[in-house]
Amino acid sequence: MEQRNVKLTVAYDGSGYHGWQRQTDNIITVQQVLESAIVKTVHHPINLRGSGRTDTAVHALGQVANFFTNTQIPTEKLYHAINSRLPDKSIRVRKSEDVSEKFDAITSAKSKLYRYAMFNHEEIDPRDMRYCYHYSFPCDANRMSEAAKLLLGEHDFTSFASAGNDRECNIRHLMRCDVSREGHWIYFELEANGFLYNMVRNIVGTLVEIGRSHWAVEKIPEILAALDRKEAGFKAPAEGLTLMWVKY
């Protein structure tokens, strides 16, 4: 059978994993576990390409990956076969489909949407702790929403990139930066053509500083212009972050 390029849409609970990307040392990552399940399914080595490197404890509903295979398993049934070899409570392949041989989960991506969840109340259901940032002090979502709009457009986001960022160019186009409140929950949704290392979590931490009135809304342009990580806010915890989808 001819080799084909298979695109996978993957969801995972990142709580028990050291991020997406396979590591050289003996620690468990999502890519490592998923690759192992795929190899057991197709019976040959693969090179799995993921759309991005989510960090330890970060989740995904729409991570995208691709690999080449000559398996005889029909593509529309392939994800069922892979799922049968995955831990059913933490990683699920939601869809498998044939794509062009030129498709690459990393380089073909046009934009990504991340959603960050914050629970803003003194008391929290402990079952939610793995999927949000619990911030118990008053925080004004309207102030944060106003500040978020100042981040929209194309900017050099160096001030929001953590140490370890290895991108040669830190200019990104932020297409969406929405903040909304639903009861005690505050949600941040950010869509961009690409993200720097910890960019979303650093933006959320900065907006929280504004939401609690520690900083003025107008500080956002100053932070962007500084090109200095020290000028931005704290890095929000990983647990609240989810990769929702990747657009191609």
4-99: CATH number: 3.30.70.580
Average pLDDT over residues 11-17: 96
Residue 242 · residue 63 · CB < 8 Å: no
- Name the CATH code of domain 111-247 (choices 3.40.1190.20, 3.30.70.660, 3.40.1010.20, 3.40.190.10): 3.30.70.660
Given a cut of 80, whether residue 38 has pLDDT beyond it is yes
pLDDT at 168 (0 to 100): 82
CA distance 71 to 57: 32
For residue 156, give the nearest of 232, 240, 54 by alpha carbon: 232
Domains 4-99 and 111-247 share a fold: yes
Say which amino acid occupies 18.
Answer: H
Which of 113, 116, 118, 140 shows the shortest CA–CA distance to 128? 118
Q: Of 55, 98, 140, 156, which is the active-site residue? A: 55
55 is catalytic: yes
User: Tell me: the pLDDT tens digits for 82-110?
Assistant: 999 999 889 999 999 999 999 999 999 99
State the first-to-last Cα distance of the chain, in angstroms, to the nearest integer: 27
- Tell me how far apart the alpha carbons of residues 199 and 235 are, in angstroms, rounded to a whole number: 9
Rg (CA), the chain: 19
What mean pLDDT value characterizes the chain?
Answer: 96
pLDDT band at 167 (very low <50, low <70, confident <90, very high): confident
Q: What is the DSSP string of 163-231?
A: TT---S--EEEEEEEEEEEETTEEEEEEEES---TTHHHHHHHHHHHHHTTSS-TTHHHHHHHHT-GGG
The pLDDT tens digits of the residues spanning 230-248 come to: 999 999 999 999 999 999 9
Map out the domains of the chain as residue ranges: 4-99, 111-247
